[in-house]
Structure 1
Amino acid sequence: MPPVTYPCSRPLRFLLARAEFPVNVIHGEEPFAEDEDWEYGPPRYLRPERVQLAAEALPATSYAQLIRGVDPAELTSAEVYPLGWSEPGALEWGRPWYDGLTQFSEAAARADDVMLVWLD
């Protein structure tokens, strides 16, 4: 399966953490490399059973649910990059990335694959 790149993962991580999402699909959960010479930390991965859980939970949690009740000031005060969350429609920025992450997770689960997560 080809890699998928998610620019500026912080907004999605913030929204998923706020929703108490059961799997850390943004940063991974298991160490993959011990070398600390990575800009945002070493790669991590999700075991196949965690990929399966993510593949079930992502489509069950719509993007509209993730952004419901979010005050743009929350993202600004948490210094979630990119800034400018008070602009009209700014929260819609992550919808295509969330949809892509959902599709990628579902494909990985169907293949019983792990998901390698590496922020570059």
Structure 2
Amino acid sequence: MSILGSYLRLSAADLARAVEQPGWAEEFRDEQTEREELRAPSERRLHETGPAWDELAVLLGRCDLPADLVHGDRPLPGAEDWGYGPPRLLMPEQVAAVERRLADLPFDVLAAGLDPAELGDDDPHALDHLAAEYAALRTFLARTARYRHGLLVRYA
């Protein structure tokens, strides 16, 4: 079974409430999961990387990001284990800083010289799949930064 990564976009008020009431954050995530399919893609609050989080970590490890986009910055205080540890937070200013850095890094530049074997994948299309995951994550990150939201990062 694979570890699956996901991001939940949270407003400043939602972030404050999550820090004060970690149990609320888990309930809120469950509610958002149920509503996602009803939202237009541009309004979605969840982004799933699935098992590609590990490959994204390799890719993004090749650049100097101002915060750890793949794993999050710090654990949500008081939160229980949601799968593979407690969820982690990226504050709005961190999201904006990472988004600015990645806006100037197209996939072909970031992946230049990357051997698919470094990804632990022998699929000849591994880089194509990773390019699609990177593009989807950048789109979600840009939207999150535009709304001045933070992220709750979870692995299950």
Q: Tell me the TM-score normalised to structure 2 length.
A: 0.64
Matched with 1:74 is 118
Mapped to 2, the partners of 1:113 and 1:44 lie a distance apart of 14
Q: Tell me the TM-score normalised to structure 1 length.
A: 0.81
Per-residue CA deviation, residues 50-76 of structure 1 (Å, 9 max, x unaligned), is 010111112211111222111233333
Mapped to 2, the partners of 1:31 and 1:102 lie a distance apart of 23
On the 8 A contact 2:82/2:154 being kept in 1, the answer is no
1:33 Cα deviation after fit: 4.3
Matched with 2:136 is 100
Per-residue CA deviation, residues 26-82 of structure 1 (Å, 9 max, x unaligned), is 111021144453332210011111010111112211111222111233333xxxxxx
1:17 Cα deviation after fit: 0.9
On the 8 A contact 2:55/2:130 being kept in 1, the answer is yes
On the 8 A contact 1:63/1:98 being kept in 2, the answer is yes
Matched with 1:46 is 90
Mapped to 2, the partners of 1:43 and 1:52 lie a distance apart of 20
CA RMSD of aligned residues (A): 1.8
Secondary structure of 2:89 counterpart: strand
Secondary structure of 2:124 counterpart: coil
Instruction: Determine whether 1:22 maps to 2:66.
Output: yes
Q: Which runs of 5 or more structure 2 residues have no equivalent in the other structure? A: 1-43
Q: Which runs of 5 or more structure 1 residues have no equivalent in the other structure? A: 77-82
Q: Percent identity?
A: 34
Matched with 1:114 is 150
- In the alignment of these two chains, the number of paired residues is 112
Per-residue CA deviation, residues 1-44 of structure 1 (Å, 9 max, x unaligned), is 52111111100011101233332111110211444533322100
Structure of higher CA gyration radius: 2
Could you tell which deviates more after superposition, 88-97 or 9-18?
A: 88-97
Greater strand percent: which structure?
2
